């Protein structure tokens, strides 16, 4: 006989109370990043190089701006989830762990939003 509450069993959220959301989000962003990151690296290397004017023109194309934004969103989301697990695994002290987790969350939002605004500024400036 199971000692588990039937409602808890149906919800399937486990002891962490959030179910498999973290795991699932990490996998989905990973799958999205396979084509997006390859496309981004290929674009940098083969299409744009490092010339200012060429990169600006390239980011002025709607398709490139949209795919870059999708790439950045998946990248920062995936990075935040991954770094979170590394911190949870290796930092023993509870207050240091929480401080690091909060710092990473703030940093990811700061960097991600800055990158997105930069892309939008270049795109809309065209």
Partner 1 sequence: MEQVKRPLSPHLQIYKPQLTSILSITHRATGVFLSLGSLFLTSWLVGLATSEEAFTSLQQYGSAWYGKIILVGFVFSFYFHLGNGIRHLFWDVGLGLEISTTYKSGYAVIAFSIILTVVTVVMGGVL
The answer to whether residue 76 forms part of the interface with partner 1 (CB under 8 A) is yes
The three state secondary structure string of the chain is CCCCCHHHHHHCCCCCCCCCHHHHHHHHHHHHHHHHHHHHHHHHHHHHCCCHHHHHHHHCCHHHHHHHHHHHHHHHHHHHHHHHHHHHHHCCCHHHHHHHHHHHHHHHHHHHHHHHHHHHHHHHCC
State which of residues 25, 32, 83, 101 lies at the interface with partner 1 (CB under 8 A).
83
| Minimum CB distance to partner 1 smaller for 8 or for 44 | 44
Q: How far is the CB of 56 from partner 1 (least distance, A)?
A: 7
- Residue numbers at the binding site for partner 1 (CB under 8 A): 27, 30-31, 33-34, 37-38, 41, 44-46, 49-50, 52, 55-56, 59, 72, 75-76, 79, 82-83, 86, 107, 111-112, 114-115, 117-119, 121-122
């Amino acid at each position: 006989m199971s000692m588990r509450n039937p409602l808890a069993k149906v919800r399937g959220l486990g002891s962490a109370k959030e179910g498999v959301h973290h795991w699932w989000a990490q996998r989905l962003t990973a799958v999205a990043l396979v084509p997006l990151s390859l496309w981004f690296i290929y674009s940098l290397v083969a299409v744009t190089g490092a010339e200012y004017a060429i990169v600006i023109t390239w980011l002025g194309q709607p398709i490139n701006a949209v795919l870059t934004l999708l790439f950045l969103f998946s990248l920062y989301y995936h990075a935040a989830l991954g770094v979170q697990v590394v911190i949870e695994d290796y930092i023993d002290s509870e207050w240091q762990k929480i401080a690091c987790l909060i710092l990473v969350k703030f940093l990811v939002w700061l960097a991600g939003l800055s990158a997105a605004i930069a892309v939008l500024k270049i795109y809309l400036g065209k």
